[in-house]
């Protein structure tokens, strides 16, 4: 029995060391290979960035804003959006960016999807941002194989599927070529402005941009037909409880989104692929040029 | 206490250490107390119920061999066992409708809300099996009540089996259980594999399976096709995972439980399949229902078997639950087994010219598909849902590969494939499998380092994937 207990103790020590090494290795791999993490690490190491346009938001923005195309059209830009981001996370990223770098962006494009979230006021901060924030205090919950579990599954997908491997990260945008058609159907629904106007964190982003003289453009992102609405594309002026106002463009209107072709432009579940992103970004460029003319 | 949890595993290991430290005389008592505490952790009232249930069967078992009214006592014992099962498990189906007919608001099924009858289908079969063994003279009555109580309540098998036989379980308690390092480590390994099957495969598939079944009306045909093909794999890993945990932990205490699975998807026909899938239950029905029925109807000749097959499998179906869908599940198995029995010669003539490999795999695929179809009845809540399922399969909108890719975590698919590849080697390429075993155990210098790394990796996987433990399917019976 003693021999068995000693052997068990040896195995426990072995398993603990193995666990630590596994976590270190996993963390190293996700930092280097995961698109969201790479985006985050890249954004922390800019050398005097002079981006005129910054993109914020979650996965739909991560895929849809073609910052390479924006840059080629004279709007030097970077896509800070990361899959799963909450509005609070986006605000943290923007604050950090202004704290770290001296040049402010002229425009912030903030892509959101009212139908895809239950609220814009989620209090969580996505793990890639959380663990790399300057004041983050590490605890047991930060065990990488647990904290970044889903990244492992994403990496497995990329390991097994060529179509997943072909995704590229360019100036913060995640570019996919593959297509998953949109088989859903349109329904008659209005855009819920109240979801924006009642959101504390969206109001805080608006306030922060205005206080820092940044032109904020809130964009309701294009999505699958079932999420599209019959409200006009806009410009819509929305106001918040903190008395700030902002411009919102409803690019998820059926009118605007009719430009996207089901079996060409989508990469699945309301996310645009590279081709859809080009169409979408061309509209954004047109919008920015109009705004520049007005200024 | 949830069996699929770290706290259960740690408690069981700690209990095993204490078990071997205490005087061998008190070990059965210690396990009985542990099992009682385990049962009480689910429902306090269930514990006295189990004790009284065990006491009645124990007492009848003692009295039965020398009783003047042996037949009457035997029938009373069987009736008691079945009655308590019907009252606590099937009253909503078999008793309450009668009260509704006479416009009474009395519901016997309310009793099962007070005494939550967890594990009742299993311990009832064990109780009946014991009584039949005594009556037939296959076993002597158990004189030690603690031993008998442990036979009924032993915690690793209490929730979902294996369905133990008293003449297999009780003699093990009489042996002096010396600490045996090899047995304990074998037990731990089996339990680890069980956790891997349950947490890393079955639990990963369960959101797709359970969500689709909860809203069959809106599921598209591609999902339903995938689901039907996936159900046997899902149930296998769910249930065999649980069984491995039960067998593994029991083995740590020096008790060998009956096997429950033996590479079932490599069976070439339905009759063989049921000798490999849920073996302990199918064997129980085979020994105590099928054989007894055939014996009683032996004058009918070959039709006695046909009749017995129908009776056995209908009861097998009903054992799973109070519903017509479960009856159809049993009926399907009975039809298939009878079909195989009566067409044996014709099929032999038809297929004997086929190459062995083709014949083998054709049989395996047909059995798998047949079981997939059967499980639609198993997982559906009623026959209406079964109809919705099969009619929904005709409207395929999305690519089946796409659905598979999006809905089922790849890690689960890869692990399931690995298990099946190993089973294939063991089944069809035994020589190679032996080489693999040698490689695993002793083939080279760093084999222990390699093994420990794999075990550690599995533990890490369980840590990551096991955050949301889910109940196993067969716990509801």
Locate the chain A residue with the closest alpha carbon to B403: A180
Q: Report how far residue A166's alpha carbon sits from residue B341's, in angstroms, rounded to the nearest whole number.
A: 54
What pLDDT is attached to residue A160? 75
Rounded CA-CA distance A31/A172 in Å is 15
Could you please report the per-residue DSSP string of A130-192? HTTSTTPPP-GGG-HHHHTHHHHHHHHHHHH-HHHHT-EEETTEEE-----------------
Confidence of residue B424 (pLDDT cuts 50, 70, 90): very high
Using CA coordinates, name the residue in chain A closest to B461: A145
Q: How many CB atoms lie within 10 A of CB A223?
A: 25
Query: Each residue of B259-304: pLDDT tens digit?
Result: 999 999 999 999 999 999 999 999 999 999 999 999 988 888 888 9
Structure confidence by residue, pLDDT tens digits, A130-143: 888 888 888 777 88
Torsions phi, psi for A124 (to 5 deg): -75, 155
Q: Give the A:B interface size as CB pairs under 8 Å.
A: 51
Nearest by Cα to B187 from B277, B257, B276, B123: B257
A4 and B410 within 8 Å at the Cβ level: the answer is no
For position B237, what pLDDT does the model report?
96
| Coil/strand/helix, residue A128 | helix
- The DSSP letter of residue A247 is E
Supply φ then ψ for residue A110, to 5 degrees. Answer: -115, 105
Cβ neighbours of A22 in B, within 8 Å: 456-457, 460
| Bridge partner list, A216 | A108
Give the B-side interface with A, CB within 8 Å: 17, 20-21, 179, 181, 184-185, 397-398, 402, 405-406, 409-411, 414, 452-453, 455-457, 459-460, 463-464, 467
- The mean pLDDT value for B406-427 works out to 90
| DSSP category for residue A8 | H
Q: How many residues does chain A have?
A: 295
* B73 to chain A, closest Cα gap in Å: 47
Q: Do A19 and B398 touch (CB under 8 A)?
A: no
Checking if the pLDDT of B468 tops 60, the result is no
Average per-residue pLDDT for chain A: 89
Do the strands A215-220 and A236-239 form a parallel or antiparallel pair, or are they unpaired? unpaired
Q: Kindly give, in sequence order, each residue whose CB lies less than 8 Å from that of residue B25, ignoring residues fewer than 6 positions away.
A: none
- Torsion sign over Cα B119, B124, B127, B130: negative
Per-residue model confidence (pLDDT) at position B257: 96
Measure CB to CB from residue B397 to each of A153, A160, A183 and give the nearest one. A183
Give, to the nearest 10 degrees, the angle between helix B410-428 and helix B430-441: 110
Query: What is the distance between the alpha carbons of residues A227 and A225, in angstroms, rounded to a whole number?
Result: 5
CA distance A73 to A187: 36
Query: Could you tell me which of B282, B287, B292 has the C-alpha nearest to residue B313?
Result: B282
Average pLDDT over residues B77-88: 92
Please check the confidence at residue B471 and state whether its pLDDT lies above 70.
Answer: no
Rg (CA), chain B: 23
Determine which of A50-54, A143-147, A230-234, B64-68 has the lowest per-residue pLDDT on average. A143-147
- A239 three-state secondary structure: strand
Residue in chain B closest to A146 (alpha carbons) equals B464
For residue B469, what pLDDT is reported? 41
Residue B475: band (very low, low, confident or very high) from pLDDT cuts 50, 70, 90: very low
Contact B455 A146 (CB under 8 A): no
Question: Where does the pLDDT of residue B439 fall: very low under 50, low under 70, confident under 90, or very high at 90 and above?
Answer: confident
At B467 the pLDDT is: 62
Q: At residue A158, does pLDDT exceed 70?
A: yes
pLDDT grade for B470, boundaries at 50, 70 and 90: very low
Contact A160 B397 (CB under 8 A): no
Percentage of residues in chain A having pLDDT higher than 70: 100
Measured in angstroms, the CA of A263 and the nearest CA of chain B are apart by 13
- pLDDT one-digit tens code per residue, A262-274: 889 998 888 999 9
3-state class (DSSP) for residue A55: strand
**How confident is the model over B413-436, as a mean pLDDT?**
93
Q: What is the DSSP letter of A80?
A: -
* pLDDT above 80 for B402: no
The tokens of A274 are what?
């590279």
Share of chain B above pLDDT 70, in %: 97
| Minimum-distance CB partner of B398 among A3, A153, A183 | A183
Backbone angles phi, psi at B47, to 5 degrees: -65, -55
Which of A1, A18, A160 lies closest to B20 in CB terms? A1
pLDDT of residue B285: 94
**Cβ–Cβ of B179/A4 closer than 8 Å?**
yes
Gap between the terminal Cα atoms of chain B: 17
B325-345 b/e (C-beta count within 10 Å ≥ 16 → b): bbbbbbbbbbebbbeeeeeee
Mean pLDDT calculated for residue range B449-463: 93
Nearest CB among B181, B410, B414 relative to A3 is that of B181
Taking Cα atoms as reference points, which of B424, B427, B408, B471 lies closest to residue B229? B408
Give mean pLDDT, residues A51-61.
Answer: 93
Q: Select from B456, B457, B467 the residue whose CB has the most chain A CBs within 10 Å, as the one to mutate to test that interface.
A: B456
Q: What's the pLDDT at B113?
A: 79
CA distance A119 to A195: 7
Q: Which residues of B touch A14 (CB under 8 A)?
A: 452, 456
Q: Residue range B354-362: average pLDDT?
A: 91
Smallest Cα distance from B250 to chain A, Å: 18
For chain A, percent of residues with pLDDT exceeding 90: 52
Considering A102-106, A168-172, B126-130, the range whose residues carry the highest mean pLDDT is B126-130
Average pLDDT over residues B417-446: 90
Per-residue HEC secondary structure of chain B comes to CCCCCHHHHHHHHHHHHHHHHCCHHHHHHHHHHHHHHHHHCCCCCHHHHHHHHHHHHHHHHHHHHHCCCHHHHHHHHHHHHHHHHHHHHHHHHHCHHHHHHCCCCCCHHHHHHHCCCCCHHHHHHHHHHHHHHHHHCCCCCCCCHHHHHHHHHCHHHHCCCCCCCHHHHHHHHHCCCCCCHHHHHHHHHHHHHHHHHHHHHHHHHHHHHHHHHHCHHHCCHHHHHHHHHHHHHHHHHHHHHHHHHHHHHHHHCCCCCCCCECCHHHCCCHHHHCCCECHHHHHHHHHHHHHHHHHHCHHHCHHHHHHHHHHHHHHHHHHHCCCHHHHHHHHHHHHHHHHHHHCHHHHHHHHCCCCHHHHHHHHHHHHHHHHHHHHHHHHCCCHHHHHHHHHHCCCCCCCHHHHHHHHCCHHHHHHHHHHHHHHHHHHHCHHHHHHHHHHHHCCCCCHHHHHHHHHHHHHHHHHHHCCCCCCCHHHHC
Which residues does chain A have within 8 Å of residue B456's beta carbon, measured at their own beta carbons?
14-15, 18-19, 22
Nearest to A11 among B17, B452, B464 (CB): B452
Q: Which pLDDT value is given to residue A98? A: 92
What chain A residue is nearest to B220 in terms of C-alpha separation? A183
The average pLDDT across A49-58 equals 92
State yes or no: pLDDT of A49 exceeds 90: no
Compute φ and ψ for A34, nearest 5 degrees: -75, 130
Integer-rounded Cα radius of gyration of chain A: 21
Give the neighbor-by-neighbor strand order of the sheet with A245-250. A77-79, A53-57, A107-112, A215-220, A245-250, A236-239
The pLDDT mean for chain B works out to 90
pLDDT at B398: 73
DSSP state for residue A212 in the 8-state scheme: T
Average pLDDT over residues A224-250: 90
Task: Say whether A157 and B398 touch across the interface (CB within 8 A).
Answer: no
Angle value at C-alpha A162, between A156 and A168, nearest 5 degrees: 85
Mean pLDDT of B385-393: 91
Contact at CB, B463 and A145, closer than 8 angstroms:
yes
Lowest mean pLDDT among A107-121, B190-204, B236-250: A107-121
Inter-chain residue contact A183 with B467, CB threshold 8 Å: no
Please report the pLDDT score of residue B472 as a whole number: 46
Extract the tokens encoding A252: 């998820």
Give mean pLDDT, residues B162-189.
91
Of A7, A14, A161, which has the smallest distance from its Cβ to B456's Cβ?
A: A14
The shortest CB-CB distance from B464 to any of A3, A18, A145 is to: A145
Instruction: Say if CB A110 and CB A68 are below 8 A apart.
Output: no
Residue-level pLDDT at B452: 94
Closest approach of B23 to chain A, Cα-based (Å): 14
Q: Which residues contact B365 (CB under 8 A, 6 or more apart)?
A: none
Residues in chain A within 8 Å Cβ distance of B184: 4
């Amino acid at each position: 029995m003693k021999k068995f207990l000693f052997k068990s103790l040896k195995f426990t020590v072995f398993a603990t060391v193995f666990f630590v090494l596994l976590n270190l290795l996993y963390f190293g791999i996700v930092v280097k290979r995961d698109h969201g993490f790479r985006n985050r690490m890249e954004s922390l190491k800019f050398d005097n960035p002079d981006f005129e346009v910054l993109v914020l938001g979650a996965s739909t923005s991560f895929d849809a804003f073609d910052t390479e195309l924006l840059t080629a059209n004279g709007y030097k830009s970077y896509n800070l959006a990361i899959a799963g981001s909450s509005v609070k996370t986006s605000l943290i990223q923007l604050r950090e960016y202004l704290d770290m770098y001296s040049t402010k962006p002229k425009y912030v494009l903030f892509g959101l999807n009212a139908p895809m979230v239950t609220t814009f006021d989620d209090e969580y901060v996505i793990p890639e941002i959380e663990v790399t924030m300057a004041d983050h205090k590490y605890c047991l919950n930060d065990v990488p194989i647990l904290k970044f579990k889903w990244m492992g599954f994403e990496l497995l997908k990329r390991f097994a599927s060529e179509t997943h491997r072909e995704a590229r990260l360019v100036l913060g945008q995640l570019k996919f070529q593959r297509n998953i058609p949109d088989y859903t159907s349109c329904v008659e629904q209005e855009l819920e402005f109240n979801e924006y106007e009642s959101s504390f964190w969206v109001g805080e982003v608006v306030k922060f941009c205005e206080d820092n003289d940044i032109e904020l453009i809130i964009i309701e992102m294009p999505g699958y037909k079932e999420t599209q609405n019959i409200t006009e594309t806009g410009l819509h002026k929305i106001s918040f409880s903190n008395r700030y106002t902002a411009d919102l463009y409803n690019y998820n209107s059926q009118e605007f989104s009719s430009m996207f072709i089901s079996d060409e432009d989508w990469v699945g579940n309301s996310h645009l692929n590279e081709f859809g992103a080009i169409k979408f970004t061309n509209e954004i460029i047109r919008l920015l040029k109009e705004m520049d003319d007005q200024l | 206490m949830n069996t699929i949890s770290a706290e259960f595993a740690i408690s069981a290991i700690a209990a095993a250490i204490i078990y071997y430290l205490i005087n061998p005389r008190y070990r059965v008592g210690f396990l009985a107390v542990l099992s009682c505490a385990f049962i009480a952790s689910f429902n306090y009232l269930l514990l006295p119920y189990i004790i009284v249930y065990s006491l009645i069967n124990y007492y009848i078992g003692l009295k039965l061999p020398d009783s003047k009214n042996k037949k009457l006592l035997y029938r009373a014992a069987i009736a008691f066992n079945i009655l308590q099962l019907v009252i606590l498990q099937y009253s909503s189906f078999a008793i309450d409708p009668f009260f509704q007919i006479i416009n009474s608001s009395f519901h016997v099924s309310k009793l099962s809300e007070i005494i939550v009858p967890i594990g009742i289908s299993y311990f009832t079969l064990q109780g009946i099996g014991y009584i039949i063994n005594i009556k037939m003279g296959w076993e002597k009555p158990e004189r030690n009540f603690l031993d008998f109580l442990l036979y009924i309540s032993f915690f690793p098998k209490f929730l979902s089996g294996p369905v133990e036989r008293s003449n297999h379980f009780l003699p093990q308690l009489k042996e002096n259980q010396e600490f045996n390092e090899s047995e304990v480590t074998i037990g731990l390994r089996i339990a680890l594999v069980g956790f891997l099957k349950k947490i890393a495969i079955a639990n990963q598939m369960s959101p797709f399976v359970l969500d689709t079944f909860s809203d069959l009306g809106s599921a598209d045909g591609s999902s339903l096709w995938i689901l039907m093909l996936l159900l046997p794999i899902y149930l296998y890993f769910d249930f065999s995972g649980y069984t491995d945990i039960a067998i593994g932990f029991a083995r740590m205490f020096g008790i060998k439980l009956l096997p429950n699975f033996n590479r079932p998807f490599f069976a070439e026909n339905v009759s063989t399949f049921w000798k490999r899938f849920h073996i302990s239950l199918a064997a129980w029905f085979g020994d105590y229902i099928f054989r007894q029925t055939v014996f009683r109807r032996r004058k009918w000749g070959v039709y006695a078997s046909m009749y017995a097959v129908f009776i056995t499998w209908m009861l097998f179906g009903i054992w799973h639950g109070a519903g017509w869908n479960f009856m159809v599940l049993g009926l399907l198995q009975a039809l298939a087994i009878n079909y195989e029995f009566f067409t044996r010669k014709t099929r032999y003539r038809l297929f004997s010219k086929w190459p062995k490999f083709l014949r083998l795999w054709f049989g395996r695929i047909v059995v798998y598909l047949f079981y997939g179809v059967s499980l639609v009845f198993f997982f559906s809540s009623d026959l209406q849902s079964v109809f919705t399922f099969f009619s929904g399969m005709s409207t395929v909108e999305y690519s089946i590969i796409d659905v598979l890719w999006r809905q089922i975590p790849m890690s689960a698919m890869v692990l399931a494939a690995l298990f099946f590849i190993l089973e294939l080697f063991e089944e069809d390429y035994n020589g190679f499998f032996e080489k693999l075993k040698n490689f695993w155990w002793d083939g080279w210098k760093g084999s222990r380092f390699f093994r420990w790394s794999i075990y550690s990796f599995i533990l890490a996987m369980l840590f990551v994937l096991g955050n949301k433990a889910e109940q196993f399917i067969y716990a509801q019976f």
